[in-house]
Amino acid sequence: MKSLDRIPQSKVERVSKVLKMGAQVGGNYVKYFGDRIMNNEKEARDRLNAANAEDIYNGLSELKGSALKMAQMLSMDDGVLPKEYVEKFSLAQFNVPPLSGPLAERSFKKALGIATYEAFTRFDPNSSYAASIGQVHQAWIDDRKYAVKIQYPGVAESVLSDLGMIKPIALRMFSLKEEEVEDYFKEIQNKLLEETDYTKEAESLKEVRETAKCIPNLRIPYVQNNLSGKSVLTMEWIAGDHLSEFARRELNIQCRNKIAQTLWDFYLYHIHKHRKVHADPHPGNFKVTKNNELAVLDFGCMKEIPEDFYRSFFKLAELKYVEEDNLFLETLRDLAVLNSHDSVEDIELIKTTFREMLTIINQPFQHEQFDFSDPSYYKKLLYLGSQMKDNKALKQLKGKRGSRHFLYVNRTLIGLLGLMNSLNAGPVRVSNYENLMR
């Protein structure tokens, strides 16, 4: 994969790159109009999606930062984008064009004031993994191996301007009104700014190493404090396969089940015990070691869950709060899903839609054990996402819908269900986290 010797950093350069992508997409549409006349409509649409996904991804890969991070986030939800986009954008999780070795080494020295050869016995200038905000290099101090995460130059400074470019595009793509989604964009902005501060990630990593000690079969890397800062994070190197690689390779169902149980316990324990959760559940953030341990690698995106939101949100995992109208509507109001100006018809639409949605999402929580290897459950989730996306009546509802905390908490839970499905694991003990809380 070709490495990059520089990244566009000024607002003018980054806007120019977005305009170039727009021109490429426009050209693809011109080709599509001719293609659909001469050939099958569906095949022409698939070719258009593939061409657009390729051009947009290539452009974002050069920009890196917030724009590429948004593509990565969208790739985690199969129900939002066509499959061609999901397949291409998912590369942003840990496989984008990296910085060249010399640029990475200059970035390290600028951040910490010392060269890599002064800090380490050996430093590999070729990155092992490259994602949306930074890339990881292997390094050694004597025989001890480290993962050195180096942030791309200018990423932190470009968050606000990038979101300013992305916002109008997202509003058009998803038919949204600016005043109704302003809180959500602020939530994304705050989280992206946090992700560009590696000192915060180091604090989260050290905190979770302590809080997760009670979870068996889990590995959290330690931080090398004297070689870490705001844009460089040096931590223990943990060898293993990324979760997606493990899922493709591992045929032993007991090994899969062990990893799936650990993953489930890690998320549910921290949500219910500490009201804080790792809110970036994509396969690139997890490894499985040769001893079949689950390693959690990236703690840049942590979501604190306010107590009042937590109480209301998790009421909806209990059947009585979904099945009984009064309790259900009261909880939806607490979560700002229902508004004071809603008509009787609006309330009925929201009640029916959310009840159907929760009936599917809540299925694992209604059992002592749940079999995530059953393909029918995830098919229902995908169908549900497609229905929600295409529901014109929901799109016509006026006003903001739902607390801003929904954004990352929902993303986390749906992402977790997707990871459990990808592991094709058998029965998982759903409430095992309660034993860890004692």
For position 138, what pLDDT does the model report?
A: 98
For residues 260 and 243, the answer to whether their CB atoms sit within 8 Å is no
For residues 152 and 238, the answer to whether their CB atoms sit within 8 Å is no
Hey, how many other C-beta atoms are within 10 angstroms of the C-beta on 116?
22
For residues 143 and 136, the answer to whether their CB atoms sit within 8 Å is no
For position 232, what pLDDT does the model report?
A: 98
- Structural domain boundaries in the chain: 11-92, 306-404
Q: Please give the Cα distance from 29 to 52 (Å, whole number).
A: 9
For position 218, what pLDDT does the model report?
A: 98
Q: In this structure, what token pair is assigned to residue 235?
A: 């931590």
Q: Please give the Cα distance from 140 to 142 (Å, whole number).
A: 6
For position 155, what pLDDT does the model report?
A: 84
Instruction: Name the pTM for this structure.
Output: 0.84
For position 149, what pLDDT does the model report?
A: 97
Q: Please give the Cα distance from 272 to 314 (Å, whole number).
A: 9
Q: In this structure, what token pair is assigned to residue 318?
A: 């209990």
Angle at 71 between CA 157 and CA 59, to 5 degrees: 70
**What phi and psi values does residue 339 have, to the nearest 5 degrees?**
-115, 160
For position 48, what pLDDT does the model report?
A: 84
Per-residue pLDDT of the chain (438 residues), as tens digits, is 567 677 777 777 777 777 777 778 778 887 878 878 777 888 888 888 888 878 777 777 777 666 677 666 665 555 556 667 666 666 655 567 788 999 999 999 999 999 999 999 999 999 998 888 899 999 999 999 999 999 988 888 888 777 777 777 667 656 667 777 788 888 888 898 999 999 999 999 999 999 999 999 999 999 999 999 999 999 999 999 999 999 998 889 999 999 999 999 999 999 999 999 999 998 889 999 999 999 999 999 999 999 999 999 999 999 999 999 999 999 999 999 998 889 999 999 999 999 988 988 899 999 999 999 888 888 888 777 777 767 778 777 877 788 999 989 988 998 899 899 999 988 999 999 999 998
For position 329, what pLDDT does the model report?
A: 96
